[in-house]
Chains A and B, each alone.
Chain A
Amino acid sequence: MNAERHNDVTGQDRPPDSRTPGEEQPRRPQTGGNDRPPDPRAAGSARGHAVRIANAASGLAILITAVAVGAAGALMSGLGEREAAYYGPAWVAILVGIGPVYWALFLLLKRARGRAGLPSVEAKRPPAVRVALLGLAVALYLALFGAAVILFGARRMNGLLLVLPFGVLFGGVWLVRGCLAREWEDAIVGVGIAAVSVLPVVHGAVTPEVWLVLAAACFAVSGAVKHLRWRRWVRRLPMGGEDTSAREVLS
């Protein structure tokens, strides 16, 4: 056998090794693929796209929750005027129930998407401090609501006393959020809720229940727009839905 030639297991000839015996072959650092220079523009574009799609993933959960809230408002409105003691607990139940209903629906949908091999994502949650402040504001609102029910009776709270400031503030927050994120359906929700909240001033017959139905309708439209965006995106994906990353480790 020619000492100058080395055959590997495939039988293919390889050039002689120029290294001295015992010298280690220089190892290529494991980079996890082909290294390429960072492109902040590409990263920014991918991040912006991911934010929009991650928000769109919650569209169906928003839509279903809004329909449920609207139905509850319509039911309360349909029951007609009742005793003052009825409104406080009913409103508290609806306002407190919105969060858990939305999350339960969202998590169910997320799991179902994962099961179907579709992409699943959860948008970034707001910081804990902001959530705490929001919770405090809602608690204050509920306390004011309860006090107003006891002091003035339910029907006298229409309009300026409660719905207007809350609705205008809430609508303003959604308008700013929608504009900043360039998610125009949220901006429209903000304008819609603010407009609906001012409505009792113009039209005295708009009760808090009617306000709830109209506000829920705004969210339902926003949820539907987001869900359509999600569906359009998923339909454009070429993937077959298999997750090879997990297979490598779990098999």
Chain B
Amino acid sequence: MTAPPAKANNGLDGLIHEGARLVIVSVLSECQTADFNFLLATTELTRGNLSAHMKRLVDAGYVEERKEFLDRKPHTEYRLTRTGRRAFRAYKKAWRQLTGGAA
């Protein structure tokens, strides 16, 4: 089920405005698709933490999830949805406005 979008905080999307999720969304924004293991390696989060953050992003409709079994092994692939890309663009814009362009 898609959860309502997170409340904005100073114009910043509350869902993306969290350390780990900002890293996840940043990585996904540069990929067409990425699987769980790739995100695990690039974000350097723990399995449980990454899994929980992904669930939040999927529930919000920012990330699309595709689950399958490959040789009886579970395999999960993620992609940023159009809503997610739009939200990330808006977040970056709001961040720039808030910080005057500073990183």
| C-alpha gap A41/B50 in the complex (Å) | 19
Chain B, Cβ-Cβ closest to A125: B32
- In the bound complex, do residue B56 and residue A30 qualify as a contact, i.e. CB atoms below 8 Å apart? yes
- Least CB separation from A247: chain B residue: B74
Q: Does B47 contact A (CB under 8 A)?
A: yes
Q: Mark A21-39, 1 if CB is under 8 A from B, else 0.
A: 0000000001111111111
User: B1 an interface residue at 8 Å Cβ cutoff?
Assistant: no
In Å, the complex CA distance between A124 and B49 comes to: 25
How many Å lie between the Cα of A79 and that of B99 in the bound state? 64
Given A33-B20, A44-B103: A49 and B73 within 8 A (CB)? no
* CB of A224 closer than 8 Å to a CB of B: no
Taking CB atoms, residues of chain B closer than 8 Å to A47 are 26-27, 29-30
**Max chain A C-beta neighbours (<10 A), residue from B35, B76, B77:** B35
Contact between chains at B49 and A33 (CB < 8 Å) = yes
- Closest-by-CB residue of A relative to B49 is A33
A125 CB to closest chain B CB (Å) equals 5
Query: Does residue B31 face the partner (Cβ distance < 8 Å to A)?
Result: yes
Interface size bracket, A side? 35 or more
Tally of contact residues, B, Cβ under 8 A? 47
Tell me, yes or no, whether B22 is within 8 Å of chain A by CB.
yes
Give B9-26 interface residues, CB cut-off 8 Å to A: 16-23, 26
Residue of A nearest to B78 (CB): A245
Distance between A45 CB and nearest chain B CB, rounded to angstroms: 9
Q: Pick from B33, B37, B55: contact of A122, CB below 8 A.
A: B33
B49 and A34 within 8 A (CB): yes
Contact B49–A42 (Cβ < 8 Å): no
What's the minimum C-beta distance from A11 to chain B, rounded to whole angstroms? 27
Query: Which residues of B in the span 52-100 have a Cβ within 8 Å of any Cβ on A?
Result: 52-56, 67-71, 73-77, 95
Minimal Cβ-Cβ distance residue in B for A41: B103
Q: Which residues of B contact A114 (CB under 8 A)?
A: 35, 70, 75, 77
Contact B20 A243 (CB under 8 A): no
Query: In the complex, how many angstroms separate the beta carbon of B48 from the nearest chain A beta carbon?
Result: 8
- Given A123-B30, A250-B69, output 10 extra A-B contacts at Cβ < 8 Å: A37-B19, A47-B30, A50-B34, A120-B38, A121-B33, A123-B31, A237-B41, A239-B40, A243-B35, A245-B54
Which residues of A line the B interface, CB within 8 A? 30-44, 46-47, 49-51, 53-54, 111, 114-115, 117-125, 233, 237, 239, 241-250
6 closest Cβ pairs, A-B complex = A246-B74, A32-B52, A119-B38, A36-B19, A33-B49, A43-B26
Q: Which residues of B contact A (CB under 8 A)?
A: 16-23, 26-27, 29-38, 40-43, 45, 47-56, 67-71, 73-77, 95, 103
